[in-house]
Amino acid sequence: MMVQKDYSLKQHNTFGIEVAAREFVRMEDPADWKSVASLPSFKKKQHLILGGGSNVLFTGDYDGLLIHVASKGKRPLREEKEHVIVEAQSGEEWDELVSWCVGHGWGGLENLSMIPGQVGAGPIQNIGAYGAELKDHFHSLDALDKASGKITVFGPEQCRFGYRSSHFKQGGKNRYLILGVRFRLDKKHRIKTGYAALARELDAMNVCNPDIATVREAVCRVRSSKLPDPGKLGNAGSFFKNPVVSVKEHMALEEAYPQLVSFPSNGGVKLAAGWLIEQAGWKGYRKGDAGVHDKQALVLVNHGGASGRDILELAMRIQRSVREKFHVKLEPEVNIL
C-alpha cells in the first residue's frame, strides 16, 4: 500500500476545492486496514476516512492521514418470499447501486436516485430524498472499530437513525469504518409518489401508475432540473438541513408568512430550508466564485476558484440572515473540516 505525500484532494471533494492531504492512502480491501492502522502516521497524527467527498467542505489543507475508501462489490445475499437482501461494499457509488437494484426489479431505493457519494456514507447520514430515507429499507451493516480492529454487525436499532443522522454521527462519531451495507428490498413494490415535485414530474410524463424504473426516471429528471452537476459546478447538494420547529413556532411563522413551505415531522413541523433562504434574498447570489445556486437556494456552489473558507463565510452569512428574518436556526448538513 503506497502512502502519497501532499496529495491534492480537488478530485476527492465535489465542491472542487483545491486543498491537499499531508498523507493519502487508498484502501481497496477491508483486509488492508491492518496495514493502514500500522502506519506511523496513523498512530501519531489525526486521520480522516473519506469516500466520495460529496458531503464535505474542506476549509484548508488536511494535516494528517486521509484514508480513501475504494472497496467495490455488490451482490444479492438471499431471497425471501417478498424481499431480497442485497449487500454492497462501502466504496461502491451510491447511484450505481440504485440503478443496479432497479434494473433487477428490486424496489425501495429508487426515490434515492442520483444522490452523490458512496454506499458507506449513506447510513452515516441516513440519506433521504423525495419521501424516502435509507433507513426505510436498511437491513444491517458491518462496521470496523478503528481502535480495536473488531468488526461489529449493526442492525436498524443499533444505528439509531434520525433525520440526516445516525449513531455514526453522534455517539459513534469517528469510531467506526463502515465496510459493507445490506438492504432489504421489495419484490412486490411499494411505490412512493407523494412528494409534490415527484408527483408533478410524473404528471408531466403522463404516467398514472408508475413502476420503480419510472419513479427513478422521474427522480433523475427532477434532480437534474434543480441541482447542478458537481462535475460542472462544484457543490455538495443540500448544504443545510431542513429545520424542525414546534407546532406553536410554526403557527406564528405561518401567520406572518402564509406561503411558508412546511411538512409534519414527528410531533413538530419541518420547514423547507431552501424556501427560507430564497425568501431571505440569497437565491442566485454570488460573491467572487462562491455563490448560491440560481435554481435551488439550498445549494451553495463553487463557480471555479472559491476556497472552502469563502463557501463557509457565505454559509454563515445565510445562517445569520435567516435567523434574523425568521428566528430559525439553520444547521449545516455538510461536514465542515
- Whole-number percent of the chain with pLDDT over 90: 74
pLDDT average, residue stretch 181-200: 92
CATH number of 4-69: 3.30.43.10
Q: If residue 218 lies in a helix (H) or strand (E), which one and from where to where?
A: helix 212-226
Nearest alpha carbon to residue 226 among 294, 272, 275, 130 = 294
Establish whether 309 is a catalytic residue. Answer: no
| Domain 234-336 classification at class level | alpha beta
Looking at per-residue pLDDT, the higher value among 305 and 267 belongs to 305
Residue 164 confidence (pLDDT) above 90:
no
Buried b / exposed e across 63-76, counting CB within 10 Å, b at 16+? ebbbbbbbbeebee
Instruction: Name the average pLDDT for the chain.
Output: 92
Q: pLDDT-derived band of residue 308, with 50, 70 and 90 as boundaries?
A: very high
Q: Where in the chain is the domain with CATH 3.30.43.10?
A: 4-69
Distance, CA of 51 to CA of 42 (rounded, Å): 18
Residue 1 confidence (pLDDT) above 80:
no
Q: pLDDT-derived band of residue 226, with 50, 70 and 90 as boundaries?
A: confident
pLDDT at 2: 86
The CATH T-level fold of domain 74-186 is 3.30.465
List the grid coordinates of 260.
411558508
- Whole-number percent of the chain with pLDDT over 70: 100
Establish whether 278 is a catalytic residue. Answer: no
- Which residues, at least 6 apart from 216, have a Cβ–Cβ distance to it below 8 Å? 98, 99, 102, 110, 113
Helix axes 212-226, 196-204, angle to 10 degrees: 110
DSSP label of 288 = T
- Active-site entry in 164, 182, 216, 223: 164
Q: Are 292 and 279 in contact (CB under 8 A)?
A: no
Letter for the amino acid at 180? G
Distance, CA of 28 to CA of 43 (rounded, Å): 20
Q: Where in the chain is the domain with CATH 3.30.465.10?
A: 74-186
pLDDT average, residue stretch 20-38: 89
DSSP label of 167 = G
Q: If residue 123 lies in a helix (H) or strand (E), which one and from where to where?
A: helix 121-125
pLDDT at 87: 97
pLDDT average, residue stretch 9-26: 94
The count of residues in the chain is 337
pLDDT average, residue stretch 270-293: 96
Residue 280 confidence (pLDDT) above 80:
yes
Distance, CA of 321 to CA of 101 (rounded, Å): 42
- Active-site entry in 23, 133, 217, 333: 333
**Tens-place pLDDT, residues 75-125:** 999 998 899 999 999 999 999 999 999 999 999 999 999 998 899 999 998
Q: Are 230 and 14 in contact (CB under 8 A)?
A: yes
Residue 236 confidence (pLDDT) above 80:
yes
How would you classify the pairing of strands 62-69 and 47-50? Answer: parallel
User: 232, exposed or middle or buried, with CB in 10 Å at 0-12, 13-18, 19+?
Assistant: exposed
pLDDT at 62: 94
Q: pLDDT-derived band of residue 42, with 50, 70 and 90 as boundaries?
A: confident
Q: pLDDT-derived band of residue 152, with 50, 70 and 90 as boundaries?
A: very high
pLDDT at 251: 93
Establish whether 82 is a catalytic residue. Answer: no
Q: Where in the chain is the domain with CATH 3.90.78.10?
A: 234-336
- Active-site entry in 113, 140, 238, 262: 238
pLDDT at 149: 85
